[in-house]
Amino acid sequence: MSCCFLLYHYRDEHHDPLQTLKFYAQQRTSNEKGVTIPSQRRYVEYFGHLLNSQVLYTPKKIVFTGLLISYEQNQVLNSSLFDLFSKKKNQSICLIFRSFLYS
């Protein structure tokens, strides 16, 4: 995330994702191994590509209205949520809620 911050806020100095990763590694660590997890490195590269290609980003609001919880009869669920929604012990329960995307 620090590399993405550098790419976004300091575009004049840090416009190349790979150079930004290298700069971060030099500044943050003594062995120059800053961001080593491949998926994190890819994310920085994707983010840099989006910034450099000037793709227009339109934020979307998502309202989270619930959660789906499902378990089998033989599983143990030690939770007040179980007690709140289940009237009978040892009974399968499935709670379904929805989220909505507003444009």
Rounded to 5 degrees, φ, ψ at 51 are: -65, -45
pLDDT tens for the chain, residues 1 to 103: 899 999 989 888 888 999 999 999 999 888 988 898 999 999 999 999 999 898 887 888 888 777 666 655 545 444 444 444 544 444 555 555 555 555 5
- Whether the model clears a pTM of 0.85, i.e. scores above it, the answer is no
Q: Are 21 and 3 in contact (CB under 8 A)?
A: yes
Angle at 85 between CA 70 and CA 66, to 5 degrees: 60
Quickly tell me which residue has 């009978």 as its tokens: 88
SS3 67: coil
